[in-house]
Amino acid sequence: MARNASSLRTLPWYDRPSARTWRCAPAPADVRSFHSSLPDYSPTPLTDLPPLAAELGVGRVFVKDESSRLGLPAFKALGASWAVHRTLAERASNGAEPGPVTLVTATDGNHGRAVARTARLLGQRAHVFVPQGVHPRAVAAIAAEQAQVTEVPGPYDEAVRLADRAAAAPDAVLVQDTAWPGYEQIPGWIVEGYSTLCAEIDEQLAAAGIAQGPGLVAVPVGVGSLGQAVVTHYRSRPSERAPALLSVEPEAAACVLESLVLGEPVSVTTGETIMAGLNCGTPSSIAWPYLHCGLDAAVAVPDADSVRAAADLAALGVSSGPCGAAALAGLRAALTGADADARRTALGLGPHSEVVLLSTEGTTANPHSPAGPC
């Protein structure tokens, strides 16, 4: 159950005081080596932003800037490249006929483009299902990767259902970044792929003199796959100084927050949101146990807060789309307003704490209008 019911009436919020004591197994060590072998690989920046630290009353705020990752404007290429690599290797080891396969997926934008790019580079085919609400330029970017694109007149969950059906065709395989009972191996590989992002943060913080790691990490979540990767990374270490982990969602699609409050995974009816990449109605089945046990807190934010955060990050030199900027919007919501002191205490934050915000996409990943949802 969520603590502090009065907070829920003023801010969509959940916290779990025991999360920092929970532990799990780490991600495979060879994921980072795989990514390092790719021609376009280099670590993305971790940018220190003193003005945000001063505003939020903490020691330092760093932003992990995923606006250019393996040639694409979002972090999703990490998961897609590793999962496709593992999928093709598995097919070969099982004696599958040589020749191209069709990689099928559903997407709110970034994951589908990453799968399509990976397919094109490896001489495979891609078929991408796109739900309503994704900007036409994001759809065009997927098509530009030589993928077949099917636009779905319904929400993300419906696009996933149709992609799953299409993947039953011969020489087709579903490469989806959400899981459900009976479909878990490939989503698990996608989550493993995201671990490279966290490994880079460790190295970059150490170079900045913070060898003990951050005090808090704020992560935008849709179905929760990146959240699972973050929880896995920080809850698999024996260190006594475990960071607080905060998930951030749109108010129009807060399926993880709602599930945490109820204590079990549930689906929610999603609405329109400028945070299109987070507009998901059902948590991933493999992510849920990690989110339930390992997240310290969850918050949902309105579109206006994400737009403001993106503009503020741009003024500080960080290109961030509305989904990436949700991390800053969520931290602001947590540390300001009614009951902010209680939330700050729940997160273990003080005037010397170091915070990492995951900005998961650049402005070109999810085109939007500053006036409101597209």
Specify the DSSP element, H or E, that contains 104: strand 102-106
What is the 8-class DSSP label of residue 180?
B
Q: Tell me the two tokens of residue 275.
A: 């945070």
In the three-class reduction of DSSP (H, G, I as helix; E, B as strand; rest coil), residue 316 is classed as coil
Catalytic pick from 65, 108, 296, 312? Answer: 108
Instruction: Spot the catalytic one: 15, 65, 76, 303.
Output: 76
User: Could you tell me how far CA 51 lies from the centroid of its own chain?
Assistant: 25
Going by C-beta distance under 8 Å and a sequence separation of 6 or more, which residues neighbour residue 85?
A: 34
How large is the greatest C-alpha to C-alpha distance in the chain, in angstroms?
61
Q: Is the dihedral of CA 263, 264, 267, 272 positive or negative?
A: positive
Centroid of chain to Cα 105: 17
Parallel, antiparallel, or unpaired: how do β-strands 102-106 and 125-130 relate? parallel
Give me 318's structure tokens. 């960080």
108 as an active site residue: the answer is yes
What tokens were used for 193?
């792929």
64 tagged catalytic: no
- Ramachandran sector of residue 156 (left: φ over 0; alpha: ψ -120 to 50; beta: rest): alpha
Would you please indicate which residues are annotated as catalytic (active-site) residues?
Answer: 76, 108
